[in-house]
Amino acid sequence: MIIRAYAKINWSLDTVGLREDGYHLLDMVMQSVSLHDTLTVEPADGLSLRVEGPMRAPAGPDNLVLRAAQALRQYAGIQAGADIRLRKRIPSGAGLGGGSSDAAAALRALNSLWGLRYPLDRLCDIGLRLGADIPYCLHGTLCRVEGIGEIITPLPAARIYHLVILQPCRGLSTRQVFTALGGAGAIRRPDTQGVIDALRGGALSALPTVMGNTLQEISIPLRPQIRQAVKLLREHGARAAQMTGSGSAVFGVFASAAAARTAWEALRKKYRACYLSHTLLNTDPL
C-alpha cells in the first residue's frame, strides 16, 4: 500500500483565546499542497519504520508514524504489525505539517490494512491525542480549523494556486513560538472570513489584503531570515507571501505556473529547501 502525506500551508492563522490548560485557541484556514512525503506500508509480524529521502527524520519510537501506529493498535486492542517505509521530502520544523501528515497517512493506511474500518471522526480522535494538526491532515484539502485543531470545517475552493515554498533557516519549535507569543504586544490579525471569501471566489487579487499569520512577527526575532525570504518571494513576483504555521517555512503565491517556475529557478540557487508546488483540490482516496 502506497499513500502520499501532503504538506499544508496556512492561508491564515489567528490566535483567539487561551484555554485554562495553557493551550492557545486558534482560527485558521489551511490547504493541502502538492509537496508530499510517501509512505509504503506492507503486512508484517512486527511493527517497524524505515526513513529515507532527502530530509532527515528520526526512525525511533518518537517518530509520529510509529506513535500513530501504536496508538491505533492500542485503541483497537490488537497486535497487528506492519513494515512502514517513509520517504521524507517535507522539511521538519517548517510549519508545513510534515510529521502530522505522516501520522495521518499512517492512520489511514493501517486502518485499511488491518481491516478496522474506523470512520474519519474516530481516527481524528486518536490523532488529536498525538498532535493538533493530525485531524486536519486526515481531512486534507481546504478547511477552516478552530479550537486546538479539533473543529474542522471543509471549505469550497474555486481554483488551484501556484506556489513557491522555501525554508530559509533551521526549524522552529511550536512551543518556542507560542511561548514568545505570550510576551508579544499588538499583533496584526488576518481577516479570516475575507480569506474564505477570496478562496471561494478564486480572487487572487484579494488575498494579499486579507491573509495573515499572527505568529510571523513573533517568529522573525527568533529567525530573522524569515523576513528576508518573504521579501525575496515578493521581489520575484509573488502576489502574496507569508510564513506558514509556526514557521520557519514561507510561501509565495503566483499568478501562473510559469511565474512560479521562474521564481523557483532563481530562488533554489539561494535556498536548499525550495519547492515548486501548488494547492490541491483533492487528495488521494483510501
Strands 212-213 and 2-18: parallel
Residue 131: name the closest of 1, 217, 5, 47 by CA. 5
Residue 57: name the closest of 96, 13, 107 by CA. 96
The three cell numbers of residue 104 are: 495521518
Which candidate in 14, 27, 37, 133 is catalytic? 133
Edge-to-edge order in the sheet of strand 274-278: 240-243, 250-254, 162-166, 274-278
Cα–Cα distance list, 41 to 47, 101, 113, 117, 258 (Å): 10, 15, 8, 17, 36
- Known catalytic residue: 8? yes
Q: How far apart are CA 74 and CA 96, in angstroms?
A: 28
Three-state secondary-structure class, residue 23? coil
Which candidate in 8, 14, 88, 102 is catalytic? 8
Cα angle at 119 between 154 and 197, to 5 degrees? 0
- Known catalytic residue: 14? no
Q: Can you tell me which residue has the cell 486579507?
A: 210
DSSP H or E run through 226? helix 225-235
- For the chain, count helices (H), then strands (E): 10, 11
What are the residue ranges of helices labelled H in 40-143?
A: 64-76, 98-113, 120-128, 134-139
Q: Can you tell me which residue has the cell 517505509?
A: 85
The three cell numbers of residue 149 are: 485543531
Q: How far apart are CA 7 and CA 32, in angstroms?
A: 6
Which residues does the annotation mark as catalytic?
8, 133
